Amino acid sequence: MPVLDPSRSPTHEHHLHNHEDSSGPLFDLICVGFGPASLAVAVALQDLSISAKVLFLERQSSFAWHAGMLIPGARMQISFLKDLATFRDPRSYYTFLNYLKCKNRLEAFANLGTFLPVREEFNDYLAWAASHFEDQVLYSAEVTGVSPSPSLTEVVESWDVSFWDMKSSKTATATARHVVIGLGGTPRLPCSLQSLGSRVVHSSNYLFVKPELLVRDEAAPQIAVIGGAQSAAEVFDDLTSRYPRFRITMYITDFALRPSDDSPFVNEIFDSGRVDDFYNLPLGARKRVVAENRGTNYSVVRSDLIDRLHEKLYRQRLHYANEEAWPHRIVGLSKLDEAEVSPSGRLTLRFSNPRLLTETVVDDIDLVIAGTGYARDAHKDILKGVAHLMEGSSDNVERSYKLKMLKSSVSPNCGIWLQGCCEASHGISDTLLSILAVRGGELVQSIFGSQLNPYERSALRSSEILTNGSTVTGNGHQG
């Protein structure tokens, strides 16, 4: 199997050589995935002037952050200050504010008077930051597994990361002492909606819907939006604005949309300093804390969007006496039980009401858009090749996000770290943008701490920047 050579830029025309000719780990660090989590690591490495051979392997053909949900006008749900760098070092080159300065929009943005940029602009910010690391990223590379590299001793000194190069249609391997896995969420569809073809679309692919699915000669197309959280609500809001004559119904299991709790005291659960507190809790207490705070992030919708949707539905009362005649509806207490393709090629959905114990059948659906969340377990398949080296499961991680390995089998100078799949151990903020900057710095400290001076190590530990002496700015120079 060919091995990637770090002495060359990681393009798809890279130089390949045999693994047997390799005399040791080729890379100091390989990051699996190049979304915001790994990008924050790249930024921290640059800010702290870490000298290392680093490779990022990304399945997408170019950098994109939730490209299928960049709905025009949709805003971020968190402050722009929770960017790739600010909470770790606000003087970094890679802050959102410096991005605005570089794009000549800083004053214009300030005049907006908001902490919540549109999602499209935040994506552009992330892509701008990612463009500075193009020479370290291999796109169209789907990682298939991580395994211990062959060794002359019984102790693992490095890892082989296998991936499918989608441009060359070849399998390749890259080797590193340290591996960070930050894959993000995998779109999750209910079993009833799987294997039904192109008429079922997860909300993450909403903007890629095929237009021909929404063409009818005899009647207005019918669209069903499944789910009661922010993504489903945003899709329903956009659809009803774009297609006022279509029959569009949002089905939710609760009796009404629930507002997210984003009050300032509750928002403190997303602070980076809360991770230590959460990690030190007993397992049972961790589960209770996550359950108690689900209203901040799961199955909830921002209040301003709820108000806008309610007003939209209210305006229909001016023209329709019977609610069932409304083109646009939100139907509560609707649990999707079954779905099938009808003889017409369209879909039939069966819902049950958990309170009244009744069933409703909806026929002739042209398109189902499922805002049904994400799974955070893609790392488990990738790590099957190292399962025999783990202390417990693939979710058993140290405070530093390092996967716990058998000390007798794995060198202390070698390890695997996880990002974005540690909610059970590190709290509800782990899957969100809130702690990107600080966590990126913590991972860099955990892996390359010997290259940091004492002031930098102290600053990373306390999530503070240096206030005396020299510090490292984002352009890699002392300042």
Helix (H) or strand (E) holding 235: helix 230-242
In the three-class reduction of DSSP (H, G, I as helix; E, B as strand; rest coil), residue 420 is classed as coil
Q: Counting beta carbons within 10 angstroms of the beta carbon of residue 45, is it exposed (0 to 12), middle (13 to 18) or buried (19 or more)? A: buried
CA distance 34 to 132: 13
In this prediction, residues 298-302 reach a mean pLDDT of: 93
Answer yes or no: is pLDDT of 87 > 50.
Answer: yes
pLDDT of residue 7: 55
In this prediction, residues 72-98 reach a mean pLDDT of: 97
Answer yes or no: is pLDDT of 479 > 70.
Answer: no
Question: Averaging pLDDT over each range in 125-134, 289-298, 449-458, which range is the top one?
Answer: 125-134
Task: Choose between 236 and 261: higher pLDDT.
Answer: 236
Helix (H) or strand (E) holding 239: helix 230-242
Helix and strand totals (H; E) in the chain: 13, 19
CA distance 106 to 431: 29
CA distance 350 to 352: 7
pLDDT of residue 395: 86
CA distance 479 to 69: 39
Answer yes or no: is pLDDT of 408 > 80.
Answer: yes
pLDDT of residue 19: 38
CA distance 252 to 330: 8
pLDDT of residue 394: 82
Structure tokens at 370: 């499922």
pLDDT digits (tens, 9 = 90+) for 136-157: 999 999 999 999 998 888 899 9
pLDDT band, very low/low/confident/very high, at 478 (cuts 50, 70, 90):
very low
Answer yes or no: is pLDDT of 202 > 70.
Answer: yes
CB atoms inside a 10 Å sphere around CB 32: 27
Q: Are 441 and 88 in contact (CB under 8 A)?
A: yes
In this prediction, residues 431-447 reach a mean pLDDT of: 96
pLDDT of residue 71: 96
| Backbone dihedral angles phi then psi of residue 472, each to the nearest 5 degrees | -105, 125
Rounded to the nearest 10°, the torsion over CA 471, 473, 476, 478 is -40
pLDDT of residue 212: 84
Contacts of 373 (CB under 8 A, 6+ apart): 185, 188, 227, 229, 298
pLDDT of residue 459: 61
Answer yes or no: is pLDDT of 419 > 80.
Answer: yes
Contacts of 114 (CB under 8 A, 6+ apart): 75
pLDDT of residue 455: 60
Beta bridge partners of 397: 403
In the three-class reduction of DSSP (H, G, I as helix; E, B as strand; rest coil), residue 312 is classed as helix
**Chain-wide mean pLDDT for the chain?**
90
Answer yes or no: is pLDDT of 466 > 50.
Answer: no
pLDDT of residue 460: 63
pLDDT of residue 367: 96
pLDDT of residue 393: 85
Q: Are 42 and 54 in contact (CB under 8 A)?
A: yes
pLDDT digits (tens, 9 = 90+) for 213-256: 888 877 889 999 999 999 999 999 999 999 999 999 999 999 99
In this prediction, residues 192-221 reach a mean pLDDT of: 90
